[in-house]
Amino acid sequence: LSSAGAWGTHAHPRSRSGHLSVSPRPTLLDRRLLLFTGKGGVGKTTCVAALALEAARMGRRPLIVELGHRASMEGVFGVPEITYAPREVGKGVWAMNLDFESALEEYFIEHIPVKRVARTIMRNKTLQKFFHAAPSVAEVAILNKISALEAEREGMRPRWDPIFVDLDATGHAIMLLNLPSVMRGLIGDGPLRRMVDGFSSLLKDPRKTLLSLVTLPRELPAQETVELYQRLHKQRDVELGLLFVNQVPERPLSPNQAGWLDRVGQRASEVGMTTLVDDIALARRAMRQHSNARAQISRMRKDIAMPLVELPMLFNASLSLAGLAELGQDLVGKIEQVDK
């Protein structure tokens, strides 16, 4: 694993004082492109929103990129519509929806000098079917847009700092990241080759791009994350960032209190206090859940060579925008602590 280099000392390009400073541990947010993946429902949207809010609070201009027609950020930020054109969604965070059709249209307009011809090609039904069916076309168009977003400048500064990409399904992530390697074997020299090499150098540069994983401390997601890690580690298409373990339950009782539980439980059933017996069963269940979560976390620590960051189980109020901003601040603090 080459992560040691990626997490080593480097100069922070833009400290808050405006001077060049050396931070001993570069945090995730120092990268240009932060990719996230993991199974549906594990908390990618939550993590990305929290980290983007913190980046904005630090004076950056983060852009959240969602792929496909999903716009889960609409719900999080309470905005009516997130489209292909980036818009500010609140508290200094920007978001866009990178849908394949818009990316392809932009790609054609860029590469076919006559705009009208490009549009005609795009709108042709047969060609559209072909583009949807042809492997890699979507990935090329999407990577083309991501590279373009990374390259956008305002004066000397990057326009987006950093860019969060929610790769949603893990299959999608693998296809996208694998594309440069796959294409390299298929295409000769030429403009397409140069473009694919461009994506590859962006994705493979550990100072610019990191792929983080999000998971839950439960058996099935943990198992799938170990398998995904093994695959990503072997393919080496991208530097691996952090492993976010979401919804980690707090320890419900101290070992001492757990000891009372047995004694109180015995007494309660002796005297027939059924509500107390039920409460004790609930407490036991919470304790089992907690110890299962700890076991899954230990196992992932053992099998996955990525710094692991835990996110607590939250209640509704903490999932509001203000709550997420707090979570982001917390997370960045934890990320700075993780020792490689």
Ligand X SMILES: Nc1ncnc2c1ncn2[C@@H]1O[C@H](COP(=O)(O)OP(=O)(O)O)[C@@H](O)[C@H]1O
Residues 6+ apart with CB under 8 A from 198: 147
Residue 247 touching ligand X (CB under 6 A): yes
Residue 169 touching ligand X (CB under 6 A): no
Shortest distance, position 308 Cβ to Mg ion, whole Å: 21
Residue 42 touching ligand X (CB under 6 A): yes
By residue count, the chain amounts to 340
Q: Which of 319, 323, 326, 334 binds ligand X (CB under 6 A)?
A: 319
Residue 72 touching Mg ion (CB under 5 A): yes
Q: Per DSSP, which regions of the chain are E strands?
A: 10-12, 21-23, 33-37, 63-67, 87-90, 93-98, 153-154, 157-158, 163-166, 209-215, 240-248, 308-312
Residues 234, 178: Cα–Cα separation, whole Å:
12
Q: Which of 45, 144, 170, 246 binds Mg ion (CB under 5 A)?
A: 45
Shortest distance, position 28 Cβ to ligand X, whole Å: 17
Q: Which of 37, 72, 170, 200 binds ligand X (CB under 6 A)?
A: 72
Residue type at 7 in one-letter notation: W
DSSP-assigned letter for residue 8: S
Closest CA to 308 of 218, 217, 231: 217
Residue 27 touching Mg ion (CB under 5 A): no
Residue 171 touching ligand X (CB under 6 A): no
Q: Give residue number: closest CB to Mg ion.
A: 45
Q: Which helix (H) or strand (E) holds 46?
A: helix 44-57
Residue 97 touching ligand X (CB under 6 A): no
How many binding residues for ligand X (CB under 6 A)?
15
Q: Which of 7, 34, 37, 44 binds ligand X (CB under 6 A)?
A: 44
Chain residues in the site for ligand X (CB under 6 A) = 38, 40-46, 72, 246-247, 311, 313-314, 319
